[in-house]
Amino acid sequence: MEQTIAAGIAVAVFLVTYAMIISERVHRTVAALFGAAVVLFLGIVPWEALPEHLDLDTLLLLIGMMIIVNTSKESGLFEFIAIKTAKFARGSPMKVLLLFSVVTAVISSVLDNVTTVLLLTPMLLYITRLMDINPVPFLLAEVFASNIGGTATLIGDPPNIMIGSAAGLSFNEFLLNMGPIALVDLFTSLGIIYLVYRKAMKISDAKRDRILSTIGELDEADAIRDHSLFKKSVAVIIGVVMLFFIHDRLGIEPAVVALTGASVLLLWSGMDPEEILEKVEWTAIFFFMGLFILVGALVETGIIDGVARWILGYIGSTGEALIIVTWFSAVSSAIVDNIPLTAAMIPLIKAMGSSMNVYPLWWALSLGACLGGNGTAIGASANVVVIGIAAREGVRITFMDFLKVGLVIMFATVAIGLGLLWIRYIGV
Amino acid sequence: MDIFSRLIQRKFQNIAADRYEEITRRYREFLLLPEEFVLPEVRSILIPIDRFSGEIPEELYETLSAYSGASVTLVYISEKRTLALIEQTLGKEEAEKLRSAKMEFARALVLKIAPRLGELGLRIERRQFIGSKSDDVIRLMENDNFDLLVVSRSYGSEVTRTSPVSPVVLKIVQHLESPVIIY
């Protein structure tokens, strides 16, 4: 096939698939796989080139972490954490806001954001019902905290996994570059939530006593369904996190750490592997595979190189690129799912590497892709999940409700992150 | 903005609906609101008894003492099918003898239990008839609006090592929506 026609088809398939993903009329996995099938069928991505486009590091890291999470979940570990957090808050709305946000951010930095909010939101709704208080600020804080927490580490959010794998960045590099930004941004977002909703966060002392006695009767031990698995899960998760800290010194990939942890936990717990592997989100894995192939088509046809050259024609320095990549990925992430956005941006930044230092740009992409999701209700999966859960429990969070707070938080946190990156890599 | 609500619902359905159902089911096991801590009011209790029931344990008397003032109906049901089978094989006379013996046994059993329940401030009513142990208990619970069923795990037949409750009890609890105490 002639290169120009192939490029035209690749762009058309890419745009149509992304439109299908945004509209959500067709399941995003089906859309991505269909687009991938078209470019493979037409030979735009040659079969031999497939392994280099399918990012195995990302896929295996995701699978490994999903196995660890699904096995640990069976023990009641996360419900245990939720009850403990509720008890520590001692019926104070401010403490509930602060502690749940911090716990959400910490768990999100290790697990995927959707799993984190799925596990913590029921507990948060329960506490707000006990407090007889508007749950919206608490739910929004949880969403923002999960997206911010996910920014902090290599394994916190799929875009970071993809960036880490593509750029060969280590867990510690992520933690040192994005960790401080996430920490500052977390408290910034909490401050904004408090300023906006402070009047809705007051309860009487009598009500607080009632909450204290009810929560006091909760026994976190009730949440543990399997004590042996609970201990093994905690041990394996700690071990895996420790290994992540030293994986670059050991010379092993993060995916290997996750797979090792997963296999150790499966072997040690004696759980039925079929049951656990069934719960791996294969739809997400195939979604990634489809995206990698689609973006591979743009790489194969030279589209990515062309766009990179065009961008470089307008950008004079790394500083300019840092600003453009950060804000472009942030604003786009608020509208489009950050996974397809990151998949498209990675080869673009790689291509720009031929004529400038792109190391700071990886952090700019991570910052924009992860924190841009806070901008709108559809910006990140965690937002959709929390709003969906709230709707099911009779709490309405409209698109505009979210937008009013989300946009402020997105711009504030991205600006702070960009400022910190600028100081670090460009200088004052 | 309705378009966004629909979009979010579609996305939620695709991302996490099933997982959320599973998680909330787990939470429901141990998360109760204060109003859910309150015990349902029990004004009438049905206690079916037979020769398999065995002694009422002390702990059950203690539990029932919480419902002081409620009425307790002690019901003895002679299995119609058993009597019909005896009549077919051994004749009407033998069947009548067995029916009388069963009724006598029921009276003795009620006399043994009733005073103890009375001491707890419960009002005792007695009933005995021929019917189906499972179907009639279910019918009584539903038609007479009893608030609580108290039944021995071996009511209706012996329990086995593989089945901790008798088939009759199993059938009853599967059909009832009201609270049940199995002793």
Q: Where are the domains of chain B?
A: 1-35, 38-182
Locate the DSSP E strands across chain B: 44-49, 71-79, 123-131, 148-151, 180-182
The CA distance from A297 to A342, in Å, is 15
The CA distance from A318 to A312, in Å, is 10
The 10s digit of each residue's pLDDT in B8-32 is: 888 888 777 778 888 887 777 767 6
Angle between the A359-371 and A136-151 helix axes, to the nearest 10 degrees? 160
The 10s digit of each residue's pLDDT in B87-129 is: 888 888 888 888 888 888 888 888 888 888 888 889 989 888 8
Residue with token string 């195995």: A56
Which chain B positions have a beta carbon within 8 Å of A388's beta carbon? 8-9, 11-13, 15-17, 20
The CA distance from A81 to A103, in Å, is 8
Residues of B (22-61) whose Cβ lies below 8 Å from A: 23-24, 26-27, 29-31, 33-34, 37
Residue B7 touches partner A, C-beta closer than 8 Å: yes
Beta bridge partners of B74: B47, B126
**Residues of chain A in Cβ contact (below 8 Å) with chain B:** 23-25, 27-28, 76, 79, 114-115, 118-119, 122-123, 126, 129-130, 210, 214, 217-219, 222-223, 225, 283, 377-378, 381, 384-385, 387-389, 391-392, 398-400
What number is the average pLDDT over the span A394-423?
93
What number is the average pLDDT over the span B49-76?
88
Regarding the domain delimited by B38-182, which CATH topology (the fold level of the hierarchy) does it fall under?
Rossmann fold (3.40.50)
The 10s digit of each residue's pLDDT in A361-391 is: 999 999 999 999 999 888 888 998 999 888 8
CB atoms within 10 A of CB A228: 12
* pLDDT band, very low/low/confident/very high, at B36 (cuts 50, 70, 90): low
Residue with token string 């009002």: B123
For CA atoms A307, A311, A312, A313, the dihedral sign is positive
The pLDDT of residue B1 is above 60: no
What length does chain B have?
183
Of the candidates B165, B146, B180, the residue with the CA atom closest to the CA atom of residue B43:
B146
- Comparing CB atoms, the residue among B5, B20, B34 nearest residue A118 is B20
What A352-357 contacts at long range (C-beta under 8 Å, 24+ apart), as own/partner pairs, is A352/A308, A352/A311, A352/A312, A352/A321, A355/A312, A356/A312, A356/A315, A356/A317, A356/A318, A356/A321, A357/A318
Answer whether A24 sits within 8 Å of B14, measured CB to CB. yes
Using H for helix, E for strand and C for coil, what is the string for A213-277?
A: HHHHHCCHHHHCCCHHHHHHHHHHHHHHHHHHHHHHHHCCCHHHHHHHHHHHHHHHHCCCHHHHH
**pLDDT at position B33, please?**
62
The pLDDT of residue A26 is above 80: yes
Answer whether B33 sits within 8 Å of A214, measured CB to CB. yes
Locate the chain A residue with the closest alpha carbon to B7.
A24
Task: Name the strands in the sheet holding B148-151, side by side, starting at the edge strand that comes first in the sequence.
Answer: B123-131, B71-79, B44-49, B148-151, B180-182
**pLDDT at position A89, please?**
83
Chain A nearest-CA distance from B5, in A, is: 7
The CA distance from A341 to B15, in Å, is 18
- Comparing CB atoms, the residue among A23, A119, A391 nearest residue B23 is A119
The 10s digit of each residue's pLDDT in A44-102 is: 999 998 988 898 899 999 999 999 998 998 888 888 888 888 888 887 888 889 999 99
Q: Give the end-to-end CA distance of chain B in Å, rounded to a whole number.
A: 56
One-letter amino acid of A428: V
